[in-house]
A and B are shown apart, each in its own frame.
Chain A
Amino acid sequence: MSKLRTLFHPIIIFIGVQVAWIILMGVWIYWYLKNSQNFDDLAKRFNPGFLTDDFNWIILLEGCFLMLVILAGVYLIFVYWNKQARLNQLQSNFVSSVSHELKSPLASIQLYLETLKYQEVSQKETRDFVETMLVDTERLSGLIDNIMEASKSDPKSMQFQFEPVEVKPFLQEIMAHFGRQFEDRGFKVKLDVEENPVLQMDKKSMRMVFNNLVGNALRYSPPGSRLDVQIRRKKKYCDIVFSDAGMGLDKKDLKKIFRKFYRVQNYETQNIEGAGIGLYISREIVKNHKGKIQVGSPGVGKGCDFTVSLPLNLENKKSVKSLVTQLFS
């Protein structure tokens, strides 16, 4: 059964088709060369002057050319098909991992609600439970935001409302939001501010970017690890660097992790929840801010650092652009 399935694997079929074409062409040319003399003789006997050498060669060349076109066409179709198949596979992985990830906070909320329903709980405990549930609902809504963004087919259609934002307090606010999670996992957090520029950004989407980066650092690092955030200036850009001491990344994964639905597959990550969309969305958002997001890692197990570079002089360009859009809307 499995043998049969490998036989019908698209790659095998593709190679088979190519080989068939080439053999056909070979046989054809061979046959032509071998018999052309006979044909010529035959033609001369019945209708001298009907066939010229030139004409023969043109037909042969034309045949070869058309064959090459067909080959190229088959190849292109195969490439597209392959891409589509991979995307479908990723999509179904995505759906299962997303639903899985949504279930965890949901299970927690349900558990606490049912505890309140079935058990006798003191006022202090009730308060604590409610706080816990609120954190979970926030996590849920963050996840849903991510999914909504990722499901937009064209990242350019994202709606942005740019406004001037002071970077330092913005980051401080985000880090404060993770306070409880840092505490839970015994994280040492440091915010190092060399520069505190005001940047044009869409607060809501940039918050998602930073939430994703901090969340990743938390998820992919052992308890008691650290996270250093650095704001510094580099030429015309403001760099915001998130350095962790977590699992790190293999060289071959450095570029791939920004792909939609891509997740690093290894023994350590298989038990970590994730849908492979956070970094994809983050890159799209940063791109729409005319910025760049990059990752570096000395290797697996040695941590990694994500750098978000945002242009410092975005203000003028943006205001002109918004003026133009205002004029035309």
Chain B
Amino acid sequence: MKTQETKAKKILLVEDEKHLAKGLKFNLEREGYEVSLAEDGVTALQRLNEIDFDLLILDLMLPKMGGLEVARKIRDTHARFPILILTAKSTESDRELGLETGADDYLTKPFHLPELLLRVKGILRRWEWYKTPLHDQEVFRFGKMWINFATGKAKGASGELLLTNKEALIMKLLISKKGEAVSRDELLEKVWGYEPGTETRTVDNFIARLRKYFEKKPQKPERIVTVREKGYQFNP
């Protein structure tokens, strides 16, 4: 394992278990990240206001303010800030609740160290890629329609709407490579990362939804077209 980043990414680790926090900090620092530690939800929010972090690793069982509430508070102001939930709560409903609240990834304790590090890497890569602006501006226009990637707002064929995180990411990826085909695998990797249980079918479902937003005739797409054996392509 070696470090590749030129500038150290800042991670805020929110964990009240002293032992776990120490071990995680050690490993993340070995990977070349800059790690700050917060032991409760309130301190975590304070730190986030003071410093620009690149990622939040969040435990759910925290003193003062629980992890889910922290995540909700962050989502109120930052729609896209990367959050990785790391918790012992492992039931399906806990997981769904965590992802619904707006976490980008959900990992349960006990976890495998290499898996955690890969997921952290994945989230940061997606975040980095998402942060790079398109044409130096946040709003992308095509025809009479537009998408604001900063807010997630968009104007589709039948009026204004709000894109979800993943919908926005897909559109951004397609637009950044407009005129060429983007494979399903690339979409999966960049938008879903290492989330388990995602199949290529999932991509098709999202594309179908996006066509409903941005195509006059979703059955006969003109902007988001299928390229046989390659993937999808955006034509402005």
Whether A associates with B in a native complex is: yes
Question: Interface on A for B, CB 8 Å cutoff?
Answer: 96, 100, 103-112, 114-115, 118-119, 125, 129, 132, 135-136, 184, 222-223, 268, 270-273
**Across the interface, do B1 and A118 meet the contact criterion of CB distance under 8 Å?**
yes
Determine if B160 is an interface residue (Cβ-Cβ < 8 Å): no
Give the CA-CA distance A223 to B40 in the complex, in Å. 11
**Across the interface, do A111 and B24 meet the contact criterion of CB distance under 8 Å?**
yes
Give the CA-CA distance A273 to B63 in the complex, in Å. 10
**Across the interface, do B110 and A106 meet the contact criterion of CB distance under 8 Å?**
yes
A103-B114 contact, Cβ under 8 Å, with A112-B23, A136-B19, A273-B61: no
A135-B19 contact, Cβ under 8 Å, with A114-B113, A115-B113, A118-B114: yes
Determine the main DSSP class of A at the interface with B: helix
Q: Which of A100, A107, A223, A273 contacts B20 (CB 8 A)?
A: A107
How many positions in chain B have a CB within 8 Å of any CB in the partner chain? 29
Determine if B206 is an interface residue (Cβ-Cβ < 8 Å): no
Determine if B27 is an interface residue (Cβ-Cβ < 8 Å): yes
**Across the interface, do B113 and A118 meet the contact criterion of CB distance under 8 Å?**
yes
**Across the interface, do B111 and A107 meet the contact criterion of CB distance under 8 Å?**
yes
- CB closest chain-B residue, reference A100: B88
- Chain A residues, Cβ within 8 Å of B90: 103
**Across the interface, do A119 and B89 meet the contact criterion of CB distance under 8 Å?**
no
Determine if B218 is an interface residue (Cβ-Cβ < 8 Å): no
Give the CA-CA distance A311 to B4 in the complex, in Å. 67
B212 smallest CB distance to A (angstroms): 30
Give the CA-CA distance A134 to B18 in the complex, in Å. 14
Q: Which of A104, A106, A111 contacts B113 (CB 8 A)?
A: A111
Determine if B135 is an interface residue (Cβ-Cβ < 8 Å): no
Most-contacted residue by chain B among A118, A125, A136 (CB, 10 A) = A118
A253 smallest CB distance to B (angstroms): 19
- CB closest chain-A residue, reference B116: A111
- Would you mind naming 29 contact pairs between A and B with Cβ atoms under 8 Å apart? A100-B88, A103-B88, A104-B20, A105-B19, A106-B109, A107-B17, A107-B88, A107-B109, A107-B110, A107-B111, A108-B19, A108-B23, A110-B110, A110-B111, A118-B1, A119-B26, A119-B30, A129-B23, A132-B19, A132-B22, A136-B19, A222-B63, A223-B39, A268-B63, A271-B60, A271-B62, A271-B66, A272-B61, A272-B63
- Chain B residues, Cβ within 8 Å of A222: 63
Give the CA-CA distance A114 to B24 in the complex, in Å. 11
**Across the interface, do A104 and B88 meet the contact criterion of CB distance under 8 Å?**
yes
* Per-position binary interface string of chain B over residues 46-70, scored 1 when its CB falls under 8 Å from any chain A CB and 0 otherwise: 0000000000000011111110000
Give the CA-CA distance A201 to B85 in the complex, in Å. 46
**Across the interface, do B18 and A184 meet the contact criterion of CB distance under 8 Å?**
yes
- Chain A residues, Cβ within 8 Å of B19: 105, 108, 112, 132, 135-136
- CB closest chain-B residue, reference A110: B110
Q: Which 7 A-B pairs have the closest CB atoms?
A: A107-B109, A107-B110, A114-B113, A103-B88, A108-B19, A111-B23, A110-B110
Query: B57-95: which have CB < 8 Å to A?
Result: 60-66, 88-91
